[in-house]
Amino acid sequence: MVRALVFLLFITNISFAQKTDTLSNIPVKADSIKKIAVDSAKKLSLVNKILKRDTSKRENFLARTFKVDSAKKANPARKALLRSLILPGWGQATNKEYWVIPIVYAAAAGGVYTFWFTNDRYWYYKRYLQTIVVGGEKEVMIEQISGIWNKKTGRTLGPFTQAQIEPAVNSFRRYRDLTVILFAVGWTLQAVQANVSAHLKTFDMSDDISLKFEPSVQSTAYGNAVGARVVLRF
């Protein structure tokens, strides 16, 4: 559309120039020349407005498409939250709270170990339970395991029946599932801690912020009434 308007304006100017050469010997009134000049100026102004408007639209479209909102990009609390959700302790490092990182990873290591321990015990006793249920055995002898690494001691305990083994299998399965839930909760809490800490770092704690209770006198239809009011200054 813009190119068409420019082309029409160009043709109009050429036609006007040709008419001027052809009718150069004919006397022309000053008002006619002034009117033609004003019309040409209006056409040029209209074309310039259209060009500027199209350029502005293209720039706004590119800005909305490829640029990130500066307020979101510069939000430290949002950055700390996202980083902590991706990798535990990353948000604390962003906030320069390096002393929190060992606590986060100690809790994570405890959760991983508890999951391994309960899961290993669960499958260990479940194999004996399957021997009874699938193999048709009424009783089985169980090799004892102990210690934090579930090492076999070489001693054999038993015999145990299905009714005696099932409670152990169910208990270790519940402990394992609970460990997974608590691990997810801990992951979320450390991300929330990083987010709150980043918010507090940007919170204004100057003396200009105050909350006070002050006496107040209010005028009513029956006279003055004494009361109290809350004043927040910031």
How far is Cα 29 from Cα 35, in angstroms, rounded to an integer? 10
User: pTM to 2 decimals?
Assistant: 0.56
Express each pLDDT in 162-198 by its tens digit: 899 999 999 999 999 999 999 999 999 999 999 999 9
> Per the structure block, which two tokens stand in for 59?
């720039």
**Residue 153 pLDDT exceeds 60:** yes
Helices (H), 67-87: 70-73, 76-86
Q: How far is CA 203 from CA 26, 36, 71, 199, in A?
A: 81, 65, 16, 6
How far is Cα 148 from Cα 122, in angstroms, rounded to an integer? 15
Amino acid in the structure at residue 55 = T
Express each pLDDT in 3-29 by its tens digit: 554 454 445 544 444 444 443 444 445
Comparing 70-74, 115-119, 170-174, 188-192, which segment has the lowest mean pLDDT? 70-74
pLDDT on residue 172? 95
How far is Cα 194 from Cα 139, in angstroms, rounded to an integer? 54
> Position of tokens 């699938």?
134
Domain layout of the chain by residue ranges: 2-67, 75-201
Cβ neighbours for 115, distance < 8 A, ≥ 6 positions apart: 176, 179, 180, 183
